[in-house]
Structure 1
């Protein structure tokens, strides 16, 4: 995460110093792809690099999809950030700057119409990137037949007609984006949006070549050969389900002279022991550490630490497959939320630099004009308290007319995820008499499908912010919200969050308080979710790896400026 605090500023819609686009859905306890401090990454000098420019990395999960209209996960956004490029890209200082856009756009006096001129850039097949590639991609993401989650989520209230399209009262073809000619893109906004240019670095807004996508049909983005690339690298060796793939330098990339790495080799490794062995054997250049391995390598000179803005929680599904669940009872939710020791989980089970989360909005994320952290408003909530948990549990069981319950926890299949789930099972069953927990541990892509279908009781899930504002977390749990596949609905919560995005937009203090009140409502009154931890990473990285840029928003890492030196 960035080391300096960004001042919290409000202009029209959102309070933003620098709006940094990011990824959203996170796989729990991901321990891969960490990076060094920014001080080593922001040099603008051309490095003297070695001839051998191959980076060997570990990924903690398979690729669910490489379709930019459908991607919702950190793996997909991370890879798309390195193989494709939009109008803007986050640079080495995590500031969005023109990429495919040839400089800054022309903006109308009323702030509603942006006209972009495109630079000369090619797809990996040698054909030019055109304005229609953006028009096609954005409209495709709004096409209801695509069932894109991020299309409506990112465009509603921003691009003209997006809200009506999402509501089904207007055709997706009416989205406010037009190709004036091959090199001129005109975008009309619903209202002035001060963060719009930074939003253009987000993965949903990447271009797509219509002719290629149409020719591929249902096979589009199902393997590495069924995707076109216009970024620093091209994906190869991915069959759609495999556990290994490569990124190779894209010689068609407009800024190819900046790219030093010739290849990046990925392997999916979910067991920490295996990952550490691969690193110590010299087969991998970076690996995450947890538990006993974090302690074992505590004094290693190659040990590095990174904290980020991803928060993980239990999602309580109140309606499973259309039927009301026991978790619709607020006392049952409160009991579970207060029945496990978060400090021990972070320190002993995770042991990877993560910290307990007694909140939904992360620490060191957003700040007011005086530099005060948003966390200072509510402080810690829903603390571990076995007595309060028991009292709420007994009350909830009585209201349900039962003496015992069996609930399922849906989690990941990585080694660390399994350890965490076992710990939670032990804590909940020990502190709540009559509760039996079953564990369902599945690959990340399967969990995403089960989440969408609302086929779970309790799910371990997380969120990385899409922009630097509390609203990026708060809007997840609006009635029908983008991450609200759990039937949480509160008129009061909706009112608070929506007011922050509308009538309170210019009242910084009132907006701040409304978002804080909404957080307290869902975490400490309704217990709609049960926060667990704010992610931290401990990792080993070879000293010859240089120039990797880690982003607090958007795709997690950029390898455009990375190189190998002194290997």
Structure 2
């Protein structure tokens, strides 16, 4: 029997703090002098399109949802699992999982959080009527009948999840999946308050309507400007929450945001201006941080029927990839510890062995020479040029990278039109395949290689380039039942490289600045999952 219920140092620290901890002169565990001001402010690059757990499709909304809603499980500072709404969870075969919910879990309106809430929310995620961009994630988790529900072949009530009673949730998978509990941390599996959804429809997440079950509640929002959260008094751990207010500021301009950070307007920002990290690290070593982050930066290539004719040719796609000098991007443009990428899955993914990609071992001169040969073979070049539309979401970093890469492509006879869009418009344009090449990034939804590789299966709704390969689909489906799926993952990475399904560019680091008075930040969480309920502010020295 697998039985998991973890209590780590980070959890003990949080549990040890009483309701008046922020009013005390010193921290009751560490002895640090606490600040009178226990607010937290941070910067966002883009306005999140949604904070509805079943409709979120990007990280900005995911960070906010993590404060507003609590799933069955959450994570410690090092990324290990800890209880959320579920106090314990178990399985005898890794196929039928039972989660025991805590008695004191409450919605912000005082309603109890029940197993039925999770059943309804997960059914909602899979229901075609919801049109969730993450419905595929429910299928990826191997919940029984998920594929049939998503396809509309059976009703949502057929999904393999049921409430044994108010406090006992049973999940039946179509096949054993030992890391299923890790997947429940994701926002898609957070509960939504069904009476609010039914009463208010799409407006249920407005501040005046929203009912949430996390440590915080949505108090105010001004689209493209800011949002504000306040503590949820009904949260089961409310007496341990120290930060009294959370404010997020939406600032597209990274340089402006950094100036405002240095002026003390907020406590944390990532997506630093390209090339700024070495200076910041030298000037403010206790403020600037760079840690591995489970994300890969790549260019999606439109291979749908609406795509550019030249991009349907593998040789052209490969030539575009070979011409990119990734070390220029990582070492000269970004300069914050990012690693050049020749495959999709991030090197820090748990248990993953990096594949040997042939062109990764070549010199850049060898890559460029082969790229020129491939373009000539494909019938393109300076005498038969190609014009490509490259889209990216508004960011000085994305603009700089796109500008550099477009220059690298010129010797191939490729001219590139750069188009930037605000986040919501960019997602819609990319999702509708109204592009030739699109700036993209994928951050792991859980710490296992399938979180990356499943993205490029043909039925994944986030596969915006519409790449399709039957062998990739077969290998990924087979990997779920394998004791050691690494051989399949290696084979998939090789196929993706041979087809040049996408153009990998770099593997992320999480480079950010953080006010040193903010403590207990989860530096070791490679998924970058942070919970404001865990942090606190000490008095400035």
TM-score normalised by the chain length of structure 1:
0.84
Q: How big is the shift at 1:275?
A: 1.6
SS of corresponding position for 2:435: coil
Q: Residue 241 of structure 2 corresponds to which residue in structure 1? A: 259
**2-structure distance, mates of 1:554, 1:414:** 22
Matched residue, 2:460: 481
Equivalent in the alignment of 1:114? 98
SS class of match (1:557): coil
Question: 1:109 Cα shift?
Answer: 6.9
Secondary structure, in 3 states, of the residue corresponding to 1:198?
helix
CA distance in structure 2 between the aligned counterparts of 1:151 and 1:113, rounded to whole angstroms:
20
> Which residue of structure 1 aligns with residue 75 of structure 2?
90
CA distance in 2, matches of 1:555, 1:236: 24
2:193 maps to what in 1?
Answer: 209
Q: 1:486 to 1:273 in 2, by over 3 A?
A: closer
How big is the alpha-carbon RMSD for the aligned residues of Structure 1 and Structure 2? 2.9
Tell me, in whole angstroms, the C-alpha distance in 1 between the residues paired with 2:476 and 2:238. Answer: 43
- Greater relative contact order, per chain length (Cα 8 Å cut-off, separation 6+): 1
**Equivalent residue, structure 2, for 1:35:** none
Equivalent residue, structure 1, for 2:122: 138
**Contact 1:78–1:554 (CA<8 Å) still a contact in 2?**
no
* Secondary structure of the corresponding residue to residue 149 of structure 2: helix
| Secondary structure at 2:217 match in 1 | strand
CA contact (8 A) 2:71 2:184 kept: yes
Summarize the Cα distance change of 1:499–1:113 in structure 2 as closer, same or farther, 3 Å threshold. Answer: closer
Question: Do 1:342 and 1:533's aligned partners in 2 also have CA atoms closer than 8 Å?
Answer: yes
Per-residue CA deviations over 1:25-64 (Å, capped at 9, x if unaligned) read: xxxxxxxxxxxxx999995664353221011211111111
Question: What corresponds to 1:230 in structure 2?
Answer: 213
1:380 to 1:104, Cα distance in 2 relative to 1, 3 A:
farther
Matched, 1:76 2:61: yes
Which stretch shows the higher mean deviation, 546-555 or 79-88? 546-555
Q: CA deviation at 1:403?
A: 1.0
Q: Which residue of 2 aligns with 1:342?
A: 326
Instruction: Write the distance in 2 (CA, Å) between the matches of 1:171 and 1:316.
Output: 35
Q: Is the 8 A contact 2:126 2:150 kept in 1?
A: yes
Shift of 1:441: 0.7
Matches within 5 A, 1:332-481: 332-367=316-351, 374-375=353-354, 377-378=356-357, 381=360, 384=364, 385-397=367-379, 403-429=384-410, 431-433=411-413, 435-481=414-460
Report if the CA contact (8 A) 1:290-1:352 is conserved. Answer: no
Shift of 1:256: 0.9
**C-alpha distance in structure 2 between counterparts of 1:207 and 1:459, whole Å:** 32
2:37 counterpart residue number: 52
Go from structure 1 to structure 2 and tell me whether the alpha carbon gap of 1:530 and 1:280 turns closer, same or farther (over 3 Å shift): same
Q: 1:554 to 1:81 in 2, by over 3 A?
A: farther
Number of equivalences? 517
Distance between the aligned counterparts of 2:70 and 2:359, measured in 1?
Answer: 39
Q: Over residues 400-458 of structure 1, what are the superposed CA-to-partner deviations in whole Å (9 max), with x where a residue is unaligned? A: 998121111111211211111111111112x212x110011112222221222111110
Q: For the Cα contact (< 8 Å) 2:108–2:235, is it kept in 1?
A: yes
Unaligned runs of 5+ in 1: 1-10, 13-17, 21-37, 368-372
* Pair 1:292–1:115, CA change in 2 (3 A): closer
Q: Which residue of 2 aligns with 1:541?
A: 514
Three-state SS of the structure 2 residue aligned to 1:299 is helix
- Report the Cα offset of residue 381 of structure 1: 3.2
Q: What does residue 561 of structure 1 align with?
A: 534
Of 378-387 and 475-484, deviating more is 378-387
> What residue is the counterpart of 1:311 in the other structure?
296
In structure 2, C-alpha distance between the alignment counterparts of 1:120 and 1:218, rounded to whole Å? 28
SS at match of 1:225: coil
Aligned to 2:487: 513
**Residues 133 and 462 of structure 2 are in contact (CA less than 8 Å); yes or no, is this contact kept in structure 1?**
no
For residues 448-501 of structure 1, give each alpha carbon's deviation from its aligned partner in whole angstroms, at most 9, with x where no partner exists.
212221111101101111222222211111122243222312223223323222
Q: 1:204 to 1:554 in 2, by over 3 A?
A: farther
Answer whether contact 2:278 2:336 (CA < 8 A) is retained. no
- Once residues 104 and 42 of structure 1 are traced to their aligned partners in structure 2, the CA distance between those partners, rounded to angstroms, is 16
Which residue pairs with 1:29 in the alignment? none
Matched, 1:188 2:181: no
Cα distance in 2 for residues equivalent to 1:228 and 1:547: 28
Shift in alpha-carbon separation, 1:519–1:535, aligned structure 2, 3 A: same
Residues 112-132 of structure 1: CA deviation (Å, up to 9, x unaligned): 252534422211122222222
Aligned partners of 1:425, 1:521: CA distance in 2, in Å?
26
Q: Is the 8 A contact 1:74 1:555 kept in 2?
A: no
Q: 1:382 to 1:325 in 2, by over 3 A?
A: farther
Do the aligned partners of 1:41 and 1:547 also contact (CA within 8 Å) in 2?
Answer: no
Q: Distance in 2 between matches of 1:553 and 1:227?
A: 30
Indicate if the aligned counterparts of 2:138 and 2:146 stay in contact, CA closer than 8 A.
no
User: Does the CA contact (< 8 Å) of 1:271 and 1:415 recur in 2?
Assistant: yes
Q: From the superposition, tell whether residues 536 and 109 of structure 1 become closer, same or farther in structure 2 (CA, over 3 Å).
A: closer
- Aligned counterpart for 1:287 among listed residues 269, 284, 287: 269
Structure 2 residue ranges without an equivalent (≥5): 18-26, 28-32
